Amino acid sequence: MATKRIEKKKAVKLALSESQLVGAYFDWLCSEVGGSGIGENDSYFFLMKELFEIEYIVFIGNDRNRAEDGKRLREDFKLEIRLHDEYKGVNWEAIEGPCKVLEMMVGLAKRMDFLCSAAEEQGINIAKCFWEMIENCGLDVASDSVWISDSWIEKCRIMVDDILCGRGDFGFFGDPKAVGVDSFGVKKELWYQMNDYLLSKGRY
């Protein structure tokens, strides 16, 4: 009696949707800086999400390099997850477009870590550098508990715009009037602000 051959159908894994891909990329960015919280009791998911939504506007010519650093993270993300089945056939254009503020800040934290860490420690302090910038900006007050109870979306966008323009008393590296301008009162690009900040802290 001939036996009937039964073939098992292979389970087909569907590629991630565009929104799922964007969500996975956001989660990856957060993981690069140790998650979405400064400490065990602080959560900044909503702040991180908003920074991920805001486009990074270049106000000084050479700051376009910071935008390119941020966009380069997308390639790092692709390289890290390219072998996972669920990412095969995805529409990578979903994470293309202008650099976002969160991307720029993660890229800048990596540069900061490279400059102020010994060779054997590079890559360890990226999270510290990122959250140090958040605190310098004054954005550390926007934890999830505050965000939920207050209208922080508009406040966050105004603060970020002021920080990028060099207005007000907050910047990624402290008071913009102290580290954000040169001796002629001309706004310095972020790269030089970062270098001066690290020098003033004795970390470079």
| pLDDT tier at 84, thresholds 50, 70, 90 | confident
Residue 137, phi then psi, degrees to nearest 5: -75, -15
pTM above 0.75, yes or no: yes
pLDDT at 49: 94
Calculate mean pLDDT across residues 181-193: 71
From residue 5, alpha-carbon distances to 2, 8, 11 in Å are 9, 10, 19
Residue 196 has pLDDT above 80, yes or no: yes
Residue 74 has pLDDT above 90, yes or no: yes
Residue 121 has pLDDT above 70, yes or no: no
Give the whole-angstrom CA distance, residue 41 versus residue 27. Answer: 19
Calculate mean pLDDT across residues 133-160: 85
| pLDDT tier at 181, thresholds 50, 70, 90 | low
pLDDT at 1: 45
- Which residues make beta-bridge pairs with 57? none
pLDDT at 87: 78
User: In this predicted model, which residue has the larger pLDDT, 152 or 2?
Assistant: 152
Give the whole-angstrom CA distance, residue 64 versus residue 69. Answer: 9
End-to-end Cα distance, the chain: 81
Give the whole-angstrom CA distance, residue 146 versus residue 162. Answer: 21
Calculate mean pLDDT across residues 77-95: 84
Query: Contact 138/159 with Cβ under 8 angstroms?
Result: yes
1-5, 46-50, 187-191: the lowest-pLDDT one: 1-5
Give the whole-angstrom CA distance, residue 35 versus residue 128. Answer: 11
CA angle 97, 105, 80 (to 5 degrees): 65
Residue 23: how many CB atoms within 10 A of its CB? 12
User: In this predicted model, which residue has the larger pLDDT, 168 or 78?
Assistant: 78
Calculate mean pLDDT across residues 172-187: 65
User: In this predicted model, which residue has the larger pLDDT, 103 or 193?
Assistant: 103
